[in-house]
């Protein structure tokens, strides 16, 4: 199906009828459509392993015609390491034991 796409000939409507709705659209502009597919395998309770991934990117010009296509595979991906940050809060840190003992004597029985 992808080989049938011709730049300057096909429009967004043609692509939708040929491939269906895109998996996602570019965040800041709708000139790029992404079609994402992958094959995975999983053994018991272990994390799934990605066997194959294909990402088709279709770019459109201002008139809505296909400007070009690009295909990416699993080997084109990059592993990123997200940064974990902790937001400081006001006040002091209290342990569980301090919380439990701090409430002794605060409550009166009726």
Domain membership flag for residue 101: no
Domain membership flag for residue 94: no
What is the band of 57 on the pLDDT scale with cuts at 50, 70, 90? very high
Domain membership flag for residue 56: yes
Domain membership flag for residue 35: yes
Residue whose C-alpha is closest to residue 23's, from 54, 68, 50, 52: 54
What is the band of 107 on the pLDDT scale with cuts at 50, 70, 90? low
**Average pLDDT of the segment spanning 32-58:** 90
Give the pLDDT score at 59.
Answer: 92
Q: Structural domain of residue 41, as residue ranges? A: 2-76
Mean pLDDT estimate for the chain: 84
Whether the pTM exceeds 0.75: the reply is no
Asked if 42 and 49 count as a contact pair (C-beta separation under 8 A), the reply is yes
59-68: per-residue pLDDT in tens? 999 888 999 9
Give the count of domains, the chain.
1
What is the band of 109 on the pLDDT scale with cuts at 50, 70, 90? low
């Amino acid at each position: 199906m992808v080989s049938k796409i011709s730049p300057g000939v096909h429009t967004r409507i043609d692509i939708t009828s040929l491939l269906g709705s895109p998996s996602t659209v570019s965040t800041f502009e709708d000139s790029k459509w992404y079609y994402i597919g992958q094959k995975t395998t999983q053994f018991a309770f272990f994390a799934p392993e990605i066997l194959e991934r294909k990402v088709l990117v279709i770019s459109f010009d201002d008139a809505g015609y296909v400007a070009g296509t690009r295909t990416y595979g699993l080997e084109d991906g990059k592993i990123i390491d997200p940064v974990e940050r902790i937001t400081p809060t006001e006040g002091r840190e209290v342990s569980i034991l301090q919380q439990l003992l701090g409430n002794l004597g605060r409550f009166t029985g009726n």
